[in-house]
Amino acid sequence: MSGMRLLIVDDEAPLLSLLQRYLARLGYEVDAASSAEEALDRFAPAPEKYACVLTDLKLPGMGGEELVERMRELRPGLPALISSGLPYQPRSAATGFVQKPYLPAMLAEELERLLRKTSRRAAKDA
């Protein structure tokens, strides 16, 4: 699954930087945003270039769940991985969840699982 472009969104700058470096080492192309608004600004011009969005559930202003909904208005079925220290139940088959705190390997495993699942579903629908 490496070589895919991801958009990661988190308002904690050290975590955002760490995730960006880790995912790049795994072979992903990574764009990062520190707010939902910045993420939408990056996403809107070319939604098809992103394989997945990874976002924190709680962001200042617009939360991660609303961000994903807005992105899916531009690109239905966009895979999304939400993280939070709070329990969360995804409302869509195209949404995964990873509980904070997590190990980087846990994030990578959940991301790969989500991308495999959504690519199989897209192939089936084609």
Identify whether 101 is preceded by a cis peptide bond (ω within 30 of 0): yes
Tell me: the pLDDT tens digits for 70-105?
Answer: 999 999 999 999 999 999 999 999 999 999 999 999
Q: Which domains does the chain carry? A: 5-125 (3.40.50.2300)
Rounded CA gap, 20 and 55, in Å? Answer: 12
Query: pTM (2 decimals)?
Result: 0.93
Identify the pLDDT of residue 120: 80
| Structure tokens given for 66 | 């609303």
> 33, 31, 28, 29: which is closest to 13 by C-alpha?
33
What's the gap between Cα 26 and its chain centre? 15
Rounded CA gap, 41 and 18, in Å? Answer: 22
Identify the pLDDT of residue 85: 94
Tell me: the pLDDT tens digits for 26-44?
Answer: 999 999 999 999 999 999 9
